[in-house]
Structures are given as structure tokens and as C-alpha cells.
Chains A and B, each alone.
Chain A
Amino acid sequence: MWRRASTWAAEAAAVFAKDWRCELRTRYALNTLALFAFTTMVVVSVSLGPLGTSADLGVSVLPVLLWLILLFAAAAGLPRAFVEEEETHTATALRLAATPSALYCGKLAYGVTLILALELLVAPVYAAMVTLSIHSPGLFVAALAAGGFGIAAGSTLVAAIISQAQGRSTLFSVLAFPVLLPPLLLVVELTRNAVAGHPAGVALSQLLLYDGAITIFGLMLFPLIWNP
């Protein structure tokens, strides 16, 4: 039993390592994410420039824009985890070799680390570009982590579904929007609280609830949909 568990983890780790190794060599996802994020950031910063950055604006508008940037970048880059496997026909080999739940876990870990890496790059640059003063940096980091996880988890599950259908990129947006809206709204609220220096309130626990629920559902549903 212990041996089976440790080899399941080894499988998931192998998938994670394989995805990152391929990604670091091709840099497709990283480039897409970075390009999307930086282009949007520049647009935001330039168009906000003339409006100035009053404290009011800092709390209400800037967090929303940050998360829109991250959301669109994620939607552009995260689905590749599954879509590319189908497009390059490596999915057949995976279907015949991998334990589905371990595969999903590895892909999820890959998506989460990808988005966390993106946030590491984007958040400081954004904060500097728009002169965002954050009163609770600890809560801000927690928001980035929990919100990023939620977006990655939702995106990975939806990507797993649409990768086997036609019209993948539009279908992803259509299916992902209602699934990603709850964590998005929650993390925006949380980020606003962090910027304003308010307490986290219920938003953090509700966001963590979403993260947990979508992860569990993903692990349960994926094996049922990956293979016939």
C-alpha cells in the first residue's frame, strides 16, 4: 500500500518534470503567458497614466486589472497542458502508460507552478508600473497564491475536457468563464482588502473552499473522462 502510494506520487512527479522539461526547452507557454501579460500591463499602465493614482483608484480598480491580466494570460497559456498532448498525438502513449489520477495531479502541479511563476514576474512589475501601495503585503501574497491556484485548477480541469473536442480555443473560453468567475471575484475582493489594509474577511476561506473543491472534483472526474 505504501509502495503503491509512493509510486503514484513518483508518476505524478514524472509528469510534472516532463512537462517542465519540455516547456523549458521550447518556452511556448512561458512566452505566451509573458507576452500576454506584459502587453496587457503596458496598455493598462499607459491608459491609467492620465487618470493618476488616487488612493480610491488604488483600492477599487487596480486589483481588478491585475487579475484580468493574470486571467487572460492563464487562459492563453494553461490549456496547452492538455491540448498540446492531443494535437501532437502524444496523448495516445499517455493513455496507455499513465495512471489517470497521477497524470492529472502532475498536470495540475504544472499549471499551478506556471501561474505562480507568472505572478512572480507580473505582480511586482505591475505594482511598480501603477504605483500600487499595498498595506497588507502578507495578505496580498496569500491572495496571489490562493487565487492563482484556483484559476490554475479550474483551467486545468476545463482544459482536460475541451482537449478532446473540436474548436478548442473558443470552447475553452466559453466553458472556463463560469468556472473561473467565482475564484476570480473572490480573489479580487481579497486583493482589494490586502491593498486597503482591511482584514481578509470570509473571502480567503471561501476561496480556499473553491480551491479544495475544484481540486477534489478534478481528481475524481479526470479518470472518468480521460479514457472511454
Chain B
Amino acid sequence: MSLNRLRFSGVRRRFGRLAVLDGAAGEVAGGEALLVTGRNGSGKSTLLRCLAGLVAPNAGTIELEEDGRRLGAAERRLRVGMVAPDLAFYEPLTVAENLAFFAKLRRVGPHRATELLARVGLPPDRLAGALSSGMRQRLRWVWALLHRPRLLLLDEPFQNLDAAGEAAVRSLLDDHLADGRGLAVVANPSSLEVPRVAARLDLGG
């Protein structure tokens, strides 16, 4: 019985007249990944945004438990780690400065960022505005794991990555799931395999 689990049911979200999500449900526990599939426009990104707390669903419940404790919505927002295509960083600041800023917000020491940067192979003194799209994606991964979240929400996590980048982040994901505590919800992984998939949710579309 894992102390870390995510459970959601009956999640509905409409934008104007368009119902993007219509009663999505799923469950994933520590050490597992939930794979969300569906065609374009089926609501995968919206579901992840709901799970992150960025968007409030019109109906349904979302429960995240960490170490046996249920988190409130505001806490959940601060505790998840997210990789998404629309996540951007401050272009006038360097990679290191960006991460130092978020480390202060997340009340995390400076070493974590250095360690993660080394693992994915990002130059800390490059301006965020000068990063290629692949490097930007690596930065998103570093940002997502900065505060050692239990729940990782991954939307198109492997986009724009070259072979080295892909290998680096996959090892990060493996480590995250390996200790049996981390969980992940993955959407749009393209054709790449996702490890330890315990469940699938097909949103159709």
C-alpha cells in the first residue's frame, strides 16, 4: 500500500461550449506511471493542467497523497513537478540564475540545481533566451525536479530532445520512479516508451 498516490475521478472541464474533458478518471501509486493517450484536442494537456492545479475542473475530484497525507489544492500546486511545452523561463537571466530564483522560491539549496544541470548537460551560464529548443526542454526537466516532487506531470516530455538529451531525462525519470515513491502522469510521449506504466487512460477524441 503506497503512501504516495494520485486519484482523480469525474473530471470535467469545458471551455465555453466545448467540453474538453468529460469525466476523466484514473489512479496511480508510487513507483508507477499513468499513460494518457488520445488524439489532438482530446484534452490530455487540459487534464494535466487540472491535475497540476493550474486550471480548476468544472466537476470531479483530484486527490494527491504524499507520505500518507492528503494535500490541499494550493499545496498540490506547489508540490508537483511539471514538464509542459508552454513552460518558459526568464530570457534575460542565465540558466543558473533562473534555477537559483526558483530554488529560493521552492526553499531548496543551490546544490540540487548544480547536480541536475550536470546530469542533463546544460551550461549554467548560458542565457535562457539563447537556448536551443532541445536545451530548453532539458531545462524544463531540471526545473520540474528541482524540489524533489512526488508527482511528475509530463506533457510532451521528450519533444525536441536529441539522443543524448533523451537518454539523460529518461534516466531522471527512471530514478524518480525507481525508489517506489515517485509517480508520474505522462501524456503525449510520442512514440517513445515510458517505463513502469501501470495504467492507461485513453481520452479518445
Contacts and interface: CB of A to CB of B under 8 A. Distances in A.
Interface of A: 7, 10-11, 14-15, 17-18, 21-22, 25-26, 88-90, 92-93, 95-99, 227-228
A95 B77 CA distance: 8
Contact of B77 (A18, A25, A96): A96
Nearest to B57: A228
A110 to B, nearest CB: 14
Per DSSP, chain B at the interface is loop
B19 interface: no
B92 A14 contact: no
A95 B105 CA distance: 11
Given A11-B105, A14-B104, A22-B93, A93 B87 contact: yes
A226 to B, nearest CB: 10
Nearest to A23: B92
Of A11, A21, A93, A228, the most chain B CB neighbours within 10 A belong to: A93
Interface in B49-91: 52-56, 74, 77-78, 80, 82, 84, 86-91
A90 B92 contact: no
Interface of B: 52-56, 74, 77-78, 80, 82, 84, 86-93, 97, 101-102, 104-107, 143
B176 to A, nearest CB: 17
Given A228-B54, A228-B56, A93 B143 contact: yes
B104 A10 contact: yes
Given A11-B104, A92-B54, A92-B84, A227 B74 contact: yes
A96 B88 contact: no
18 contacts: A7-B107, A14-B101, A17-B101, A21-B97, A22-B90, A92-B86, A93-B102, A96-B52, A96-B53, A96-B54, A96-B80, A97-B102, A97-B105, A97-B106, A98-B105, A227-B74, A227-B77, A228-B54
Per DSSP, chain A at the interface is helix
Of A11, A96, A97, A227, the most chain B CB neighbours within 10 A belong to: A96
Given A11-B105, A18-B101, A96-B78, A89 B90 contact: no
Contacts of B87: 89, 92-93
B93 A18 contact: yes
A184 B93 CA distance: 36
Given A25-B92, A96-B82, A98-B105, 8 more contacts: A14-B105, A18-B101, A25-B93, A92-B54, A93-B89, A96-B54, A227-B54, A228-B55
Contacts, number: 66
A96 to B, nearest CB: 6
A90 B78 CA distance: 15
Contacts of B78: 96-97, 99
A164 to B, nearest CB: 12
Nearest to B80: A96
Of B55, B56, B90, the most chain A CB neighbours within 10 A belong to: B90
A219 B38 CA distance: 41
Contacts of A98: 105
A24 to B, nearest CB: 9
A13 to B, nearest CB: 8
A228 B55 CA distance: 6
A18 B92 CA distance: 10
A21 B92 contact: yes
B37 to A, nearest CB: 23
Given A14-B101, A18-B101, A88 B84 contact: no
Nearest to A97: B105
A83 to B, nearest CB: 15
Contact of B54 (A14, A26, A88, A95): A95
B113 to A, nearest CB: 13
Contacts of B84: 92
A95 B89 CA distance: 13
